[in-house]
Structure 1
Amino acid sequence: MGGFGDRRSAVADEPADALAQVLAADAASADADADADADAASAPGDLTARAAAALLGAAHRTLFEHIMDLTREGRSNRQIASIVTRSAHQVFGLLKASLADYAMR
């Protein structure tokens, strides 16, 4: 019998799956003028789209947890916004080299 953790994991997976589908479709569209190998690589279910969605989801969860930590510390909304803006640049900066050119419109 599944517990709360199982349901929370399933709910968290739904947006990642939806994002992976959108990324795969965008990558396929971006590759429409490329050769057949590139089209096959960006087909729905492609591991690249699933990995990209997972990375973006992990970045989002990391920042959300950071916000929760700052809130528990009693930081003001202004402080949280300032800190998280810098943190978002840091976290998404880590993904830039891998995802900057993926599924470009």
Structure 2
Amino acid sequence: SRKWMYISLLVFTITGVYMTIIDPDYSGIGKFNNLWSVMMLVKHILIVGMVGMGFWFNAIMRVGPLMSSNTGAEMALGRFRWYVNAMAICGALVLLLTALAQVE
């Protein structure tokens, strides 16, 4: 449900801010003087893009309701397939960037 989605986004935001602040590689907002900070910037851009894609495909494109109609089901299924693949790739990249940032 939407309630749990918003709660999880809030929890991830709070824990992410805390973990960033306590990391010794963190130099401050807007300071990208090491590889860690650049990877975190790319990671956060991907996350914002994922949230934007979720909004676009669910609120603007209305993929879910189109899939249940008889007229646009095939087109909606193609859009949904693209959305799911894009989200999976972005999610894998976020996890990869997180892992690489911990190795550095």
TM-score (norm 2): 0.41
